[in-house]
Chains A and B, each alone.
Chain A
Amino acid sequence: MADVTDATTARRAPTPDDAARLADSDQSGPMLAADGRPLKQSLQRALRREKLRALMLIAPLLLFVLVTFIAPIADMLFRSVENQIVGNTLPRTVEALADWNDDAEELPPEPVFRALFFDLFLAAEAKAHTRLGSRLNYETTGISSLFRSSGRRMDDVAEPFQDVLEQADPQFGDGAFWYRLMTGEGDADTSLLNDQRERLAALTREGMGGDIGFAPSAEIAALLPRAAREYSAFALFTARIDNDVVAEEDPWESVYVALALDLQDGGAERVQSYAGPGADALQAAAANADQLPVVDFREAFIEVDDGWGDRTNWETMKTYSPPFTSGYFLNSVDLQLTADGVEAREENQRIYVMLFQRTMFMSLVITFSCILLGYPVAWLLANLPMRTANLLMILVLLPFWTSLLVRTSAWKVLLQQQGVINDTLVWLGIVSDGGRLALINNQLGTIIAMTHILLPFMILPLYSVMKTIPPTYLRAAKSLGATNWTAFWRVYFPNSVPGIGAGSILVFILSIGYYITPELVGGTTGVFISNRIAYHISSSLNWGLAAALGTILLAAVLALYWVYDRMVGIDNVKLGG
């Protein structure tokens, strides 16, 4: 500001016709500030600086909201479609399955089973196969036990190869020999190693970077691609997960299988010209290549568990192999993603649509009963003399100061079959002892207890709106000839609608996601969708489905909010003043 004045006065003293000049200038062109810039531009600059300062002031809060609020929601949205576990755990199998035509009435071809052997072996070492089993079990029951039992028995599949190789040259039983063989001479094949780094990082979710004291030589990788690959995976796992020295450890059985397959697959000829470390042992093994067992992996797997011969399991694996899936959302609305596309679930498995409907319906009933009970109370609060109103306000707020569990339990005491209300009714002779009313562990119980718990959220916004309605409105209406009822209905009520709106939104949104009270007093017919979400989070551990259900709930709330905004206008909602 100071330099602006200086600039003007420096040039010449202001004269009375300055104002006239200024007034003229907006006809001749854009208004100029004292420093010669267009006025608009310098105004914007000044405002921008101010805005930036304001933003910095709220930055900590913004960050807090972002971290504690936006981030979890984003995570939830992500989880509801995320399905990378299949691709991360069985990458080669997924790749091989892509070529399998699941319309044909056949099992996947041999390469798929081979890929599955290596994938499952590594997953079993990393103990990741059970996680994948649980995931796929959400879609087809039985897969969980299939993976658990098979993971353990991959060694059996490998055993015949190991015996033959060690007979051909006992050096194959020595970890240090394997290390020398694989390290070889000359350039290292870093891209092979890096591929394995990525794969293990995705599988184990551990860091796989850095020097592990091993890299396969490019020569060996060309000669024995499978063995080099599997040994690299073994080396990474040993160095990074087990924290051991690679050279001192005996390789996994899968490495023997890989070597055997390499030898059978033209490797026997290729190693004849090899002269690097361990060439003698390799050539001995190549000489005995015809003694290596020819294993049909498909049969071997079916022998391990005949679940592998069941096409449904394979279809499920193929359907859920992409990294993102709509499966959780489809499950949330009682549909199912199968190899043939989207299908309805079986009748007896459909629960979510019904639960969503029930949640909406009961939340509406609760909101409505809150309006019914809260309106008169709020009116009293706004119109009673100060002292009485304050006392009443304490009573309204009292529930806030009592534990939610205590309040809910109190309703149990009151409402149960042998509870206070039933006892009183029986004593009064209104109901017979045999015909005691079922007031709890059903929808009625949930509605009663939740109305009570959420009532303050209706009363407070209503009260704060009613407080701003001048009493002269009613007087004016009556002086104009309106009866008490007309004055209320045509003048007072319309002015209190913003309070009803605010209270209803609050109560409805709170109740739609309510969990504890329905859990305690809802029985089986009075539980909400949130109870199901909680079940999936803490018991079935199907977080993806829980996230999808939560996302649908969130979308429903936002949709309602939007509808409300279109109908009533969110500007009309007042929480205070």
Chain B
Amino acid sequence: MTQQAPHDDFVVFDRVQKSYDGEILVVKDLNLSIARGEFLTMLGPSGSGKTTCLMMLAGFETATHGDIRLGGNAINNIPPHKRGIGMVFQNYALFPHMTVAENLSFPLEVRNMGKAEREGKITRALDMVQMGAFGGRRPAQLSGGQQQRIALARALVFEPELVLMDEPLGALDKQLRETLQFEITRLAHNLGITVVYVTHDQTEALTMSDRVAVFDDGRIQQLASPDTLYERPENSFVAQFIGENNTLSGTVVELADGKATVRLDSGDVIATTAVNVSAAGDRTLVSVRPERVEYNVERMKPDAFRLQAEVLEFIYMGDIYRTRVRVAGNDDFIIKTRNAPDQRRLKPGETIEIGWLPEDCRALDA
């Protein structure tokens, strides 16, 4: 996906740094290009600097160092109201003293738009978020989901090319969140706008985005399409942060052709795909996704690597079985298997043989 997107670099962060107090860099050397029409998500734990990046782009914080460019022009010195960027906030930030229609009218009024034109645009924007009947209400008379729809309509009504959203669905319940996720992506796609979306919810990031920038500690840890992030995490932070993950620590004994042989701390030697190790002797964390581990010997591929494991816990979850085993000294090794007629149900205390393919097993930084 990344490669297909036409990269005319609509938004560019060029070696941007940010410090609030002159001591700690909250954003460290951020380089990021966002294409026109792209839906890019900044994903990361709380405090990793996502909001700060968004605020620098919106103009509410100034970059301590580096350039931010929008459509080819540096915008460091342009005040927020002249940037023409739409924003959606987590707490909606609807103006409580105005009706829904007045809220939507506000950005048009400050642009000195005529009354008739304004009304047309407001109606269209409200219809777009299926809130056409609510123009006369006050924000306080709407539910959280409805308020966020209005906030969305307000950010879009003046037809910005770029819309920023800072955890817009953070305050909503799961079902509403899923509906709105879908609607936001649909709108963004239909209108062809560029969206920079901030969230700490990985599912949200994976389902909505063209590309995801995983933030940690003020840096982008990996910038890739959702499937790449999941399938081929580039470091152990991303592997841990996105989806469920098993790790085994060990030392690289041999490194060649993108393959690494790793001696686990338990003494077992396994074959892995080398991702983030540089030389023999490096400490490494080997990462395996739970659904790539197999314990049904008949189903195992011939070149699969095998290890002895002891079943600690077996949970029946309907569509899948979730088994916790002890393997190579790790008590928290999870195996997920699909519920199928030929799938055996395990008992705690049982000793089994598990296995996985070297391709599914990535040697990452320790």
Contacts and interface: CB of A to CB of B under 8 A. Distances in A.
Interface of A: 470, 472-473, 475-484, 486-487, 490-491, 494-495
Given A480-B106, A481-B158, A482-B106, A475 B93 contact: yes
Nearest to B80: A478
Nearest to A470: B91
A465 to B, nearest CB: 12
B230 to A, nearest CB: 33
Contacts of B94: 476
B97 A472 contact: no
25 contacts: A470-B93, A472-B91, A473-B93, A475-B58, A475-B80, A476-B89, A478-B80, A479-B80, A479-B81, A479-B85, A479-B87, A480-B86, A480-B87, A480-B106, A481-B81, A481-B82, A481-B84, A481-B107, A481-B111, A482-B81, A482-B107, A482-B110, A483-B81, A484-B81, A494-B95
Contacts of A490: 106
A476 B98 CA distance: 14
Contact of A479 (B58, B91, B96, B111): B58
A428 to B, nearest CB: 40
Given A481-B81, A481-B84, A482-B81, A476 B93 contact: yes
Contact of A475 (B87, B110, B111, B154): B87
Nearest to B82: A481
B95 A473 contact: yes
Contacts of B81: 478-484, 487
B60 interface: yes
Given A475-B60, A478-B81, A479-B87, A495 B96 contact: yes
B87 A494 contact: no
Contacts of A472: 89, 91, 93
A486 B110 contact: yes
A411 B155 CA distance: 53
Nearest to B58: A479
Contacts of A480: 81, 86-87, 106-107, 110, 154-155, 158
A262 to B, nearest CB: 84
A478 B80 CA distance: 6
B72 to A, nearest CB: 21
Contact of B87 (A470, A476, A484, A487): A476
A495 B164 CA distance: 25
Given A479-B80, A480-B158, A481-B84, A491 B110 contact: no
Contacts of A482: 81, 106-107, 110
Interface string B138-181: 00000000000000001100100000100000000000000000
Nearest to B106: A480
Contact of A494 (B59, B97, B155): B97
Nearest to A494: B97
B201 to A, nearest CB: 20
A494 B106 CA distance: 14
Contacts of B89: 472, 475-476
A477 B87 CA distance: 10
B267 to A, nearest CB: 55
Nearest to B55: A475
A495 B87 contact: no
In this complex, the interface size class of chain B, counting residues with CB under 8 Å from chain A, is 20 to 34
Contacts, number: 66
A180 B87 CA distance: 106
A476 B79 CA distance: 13
A527 to B, nearest CB: 41
A479 B80 CA distance: 6
Contacts of A473: 93, 95
Among A470, A473, A480, A482: residue with most chain B CB under 10 A: A480
Interface in B41-96: 58-60, 79-87, 89, 91, 93-96
A34 B221 CA distance: 65
Given A478-B59, A478-B80, A483-B81, 6 more contacts: A473-B95, A479-B85, A480-B86, A481-B110, A482-B110, A495-B95
Interface in B89-129: 89, 91, 93-97, 106-107, 110-111
Contacts of A477: 95, 106
A480 B93 CA distance: 11
B131 to A, nearest CB: 18
A472 B90 CA distance: 9
A19 B78 CA distance: 66
A487 B82 CA distance: 13
Nearest to B163: A479
A469 to B, nearest CB: 9
Nearest to A479: B87
A480 B107 CA distance: 5
Nearest to B104: A480
B172 to A, nearest CB: 17
Given A480-B158, A483-B81, A495 B97 contact: yes
Nearest to B60: A475
A276 B58 CA distance: 115
B166 to A, nearest CB: 9
A33 B86 CA distance: 57
A487 B93 CA distance: 13
Contacts of B86: 479-480
Contacts of B164: 479
A480 B110 CA distance: 8
Contacts of A483: 81, 110
Interface in B329-356: none
Contacts of B83: 479
4 smallest CB-CB distances across A and B, nearest first, come from: A480-B107, A476-B93, A479-B87, A472-B93
B187 to A, nearest CB: 18
Contacts of B91: 470, 472
A484 B79 CA distance: 10
Contacts of A481: 81-82, 84, 107, 110-111, 158
A336 B244 CA distance: 92
A478 B82 CA distance: 9
Contacts of B155: 479-480
Among A481, A487, A495: residue with most chain B CB under 10 A: A481
Nearest to A486: B110
A390 to B, nearest CB: 19
Nearest to A493: B97
A475 B59 CA distance: 10
A321 B110 CA distance: 71
Contacts of B96: 495
A541 B78 CA distance: 71
Among B79, B83, B91, B95: residue with most chain A CB under 10 A: B95
A191 B164 CA distance: 95
A495 B155 CA distance: 21
A490 B106 CA distance: 9
A476 to B, nearest CB: 4
Contacts of A476: 87, 89, 93-95
Contacts of A484: 81
B366 to A, nearest CB: 40
A301 to B, nearest CB: 75
Contacts of A470: 91, 93
Contacts of B106: 477, 480, 482, 490
